Chains A and B, each alone.
Chain A
């Protein structure tokens, strides 16, 4: 299935129109009808100018070209993601964690960052990586098993993927504390999910960032599922409300609305840069695929739920909007289709060409200043390997 055919598919279920948009929802509000910041409805209708003026102003002047850019980012990210899933099925990758369905949350927030901001991702932020200019094939090295990441975080101010959930929120907070000490005019954004929201490290990062007024945005993609556990297993209150207890604002945004995600994240990052401290953004979205390629969601959730979310597809709604406003023509979509296929091909070829690491990579970079035991064991390993070479030569 190509991206364009996915994006062009008609929604199966129409929602009843624009939701009442307010960042404040009462505790215990049903998760199925959350109140959230929305600027573009699932039907592709631009809303929220009045109700969400505080956020709307951050995208008020957005140009058709910028809108097409957001659309392009989402389509290409989805195409890259689909290619990676295929590569796993073909045995080229050991594992893949798909972002399918979360494109708007990632592109909207990612495009809100400036080059001098710093991003701390989980392991699923392929769309954010794309926005930061990280070469997509770099992300595949760890899923192929040739390294544990390995890109230079400082090249794009995009930290390594973090697999143990929630740990990076503390690194983000520490980095933000450093920015504040340096008097830098930049901010940090920390990604995590609904599952990680239960981790102690996330709670501690809220405490530290609040106490030190650190310039950090906590961007929680609530994709409803932590592998097999629904959000109800993590929390009794909507996640964004947790911020209140720590003394900083929390906002829930429609995570499938790229405009709203862009606006709210820009707002939160600006607050941070102005020295007003941390913000929690809960992007309410949905993990359309499995947790990873090793997961089987049919064991724990009904397909109806996925179909209902398909009607809120982030790419489809922006396409509808672009078309209804005549912001994009057939030529644009056709060109993007071709670009997507070219990206898929490029990723495929580069992954297949990715060499296995040298055996001695095991001993590389264990320490910055060296370590006697590593040197000793490297020498033993070399001697062991050389013993086979001798045998072959005999």
Chain B
């Protein structure tokens, strides 16, 4: 197999399988990841093929999952743990922020914790409370963590490979509403840099920056804008820590306008950081203030309201129009 079309969830599954095959120290841990294959079937079949010792169904205790993963990493393992849903990560937040993120620094580099934390995140699937959140900024804010999110199957496969190989803890946000989107994966390709943004669609009038589930929305927005004669460049950020500001800067120096799109609340979000940095870097290139489209400063709403809450095609195009109007 070299190139194959597969769903994003399947690409992660294949990537985990490859990691389990190539490195005996890789472990999968989480709630229901074994026999069930995870609630989204991302770990489907792995326990059957690699055994209960390596694909571990854990007690239902998120702090315990991450805390024991830290201990296993101290023993030389490379645990890939699953947090079942975005809103369930907070019992583990202390272990992630206080222990996992800081161990390398406080040991003066003598301890490495290669732990990957997989979190299905974001809305759009009509779920109940605590199953649709986008908490990436809460992790990107913490030094010692790396935070990434793929938007397509190929990135899902390769970014997971690179996350597992990283000696730093990586929070791997999986866009759950894109789990079933299919795309080509070349498992023999030479992957690009993990934390580098990618131009998904070139353009000249305005730059749209997105990551994870919003990349698709932005590509659709760019196609719609094209029909009105507007040329939008879409950048898939891929990494929220570190952020590839150089690529954003290059694009904005060309277009002069920037709109950042994410599902997470706009207030103090990834977009705020990008706006501040790009304003500083591209002050004389900007034709309009950097605009942001995202969630509101309110709890994630009930499913019947989520289409109003989530940035969709029209809200992105509205921001594009406002930017172009300057």
Contact = CB atoms under 8 A, between A and B. Distances in A.
Contacts of A167: 67, 94-95, 98-99
B63 A204 contact: yes
A36 interface: no
A264 interface: no
Contacts of A153: 74, 107, 110-111
A204 B143 contact: no
A164 interface: yes
A63 interface: no
Interface stretch (B10-18, B53-61, B208-216, B219-227): B53-61
B235 interface: no
Contacts of A176: 71
Given A173-B67, A178-B71, A205-B67, A149 B106 contact: yes
Interface in B48-75: 53, 58-59, 61, 63-64, 66-75
B279 interface: no
Given A147-B108, A181-B53, A365-B105, A171 B71 contact: yes
Given A153-B74, A174-B74, A367 B110 contact: no
Interface in B92-135: 94-95, 98-99, 102-112
Given A174-B67, A208-B58, A164 B72 contact: no
A47 to B, nearest CB: 38
A170 B68 contact: yes
A368 B106 contact: no
Interface string A37-67: 0000000000000000000000000000000
Interface stretch (A11-19, A69-77, A371-379): A371-379
A373 B59 contact: no
Contacts of A205: 64, 67-68
A205 B102 CA distance: 21
A201 B61 CA distance: 9
A167 B99 CA distance: 8
Contacts of A174: 67-75
B186 interface: no
B74 A164 contact: no
Given A164-B94, A208-B59, A368-B167, A154 B110 contact: yes
Nearest to B58: A208
A70 B106 CA distance: 32
B166 interface: yes
A359 to B, nearest CB: 15
Nearest to A155: B110
Contact of B167 (A147, A159, A201, A369): A369
Contact of B64 (A154, A170, A175, A368): A170
A204 B112 CA distance: 24
A177 B168 contact: no
A200 interface: yes
Given A174-B71, A372-B244, A204 B144 contact: no
Contact of B106 (A150, A173, A211): A150
A151 B106 CA distance: 9
Contact of B104 (A169, A175, A182, A368): A368
A176 B245 CA distance: 42
Given A372-B244, A373-B243, A366 B144 contact: yes
A172 interface: yes
B242 interface: yes
B71 A173 contact: yes
A80 B63 CA distance: 36
A296 interface: no
A208 B68 contact: yes
A188 to B, nearest CB: 8
B105 A366 contact: yes
Contacts of B105: 148, 364-366
A364 B63 CA distance: 28
A170 B70 contact: yes
Given A365-B108, A366-B105, A173 B74 contact: no
Given A177-B68, A178-B77, A368-B167, A201 B143 contact: no
Nearest to A188: B71
A151 B64 CA distance: 26
Nearest to A214: B68
Interface in A167-211: 167, 169-179, 181-182, 200-201, 204-205, 207-208, 211
A207 B104 contact: no
Contacts of A173: 64, 67-68, 71
Interface in A343-377: 364-369, 371-374
B182 interface: no
A160 interface: yes
B34 to A, nearest CB: 13
B164 to A, nearest CB: 13
23 contacts: A150-B107, A150-B110, A152-B110, A153-B107, A170-B66, A171-B67, A171-B68, A171-B74, A173-B71, A174-B73, A174-B74, A175-B71, A175-B75, A178-B72, A182-B75, A201-B94, A201-B95, A367-B168, A368-B166, A369-B167, A371-B241, A372-B242, A373-B241
Given A152-B107, A174-B73, A175-B75, 4 more contacts: A153-B110, A204-B67, A364-B109, A368-B104
Interface of A: 147-154, 159-160, 162, 164, 167, 169-179, 181-182, 200-201, 204-205, 207-208, 211, 364-369, 371-374
Interface of B: 53, 58-59, 61, 63-64, 66-77, 91, 94-95, 98-99, 102-112, 143-144, 146, 166-168, 195, 241-245
6 residue pairs, one from A and one from B, having the closest CB atoms: A174-B71, A170-B67, A178-B75, A174-B68, A204-B64, A148-B106
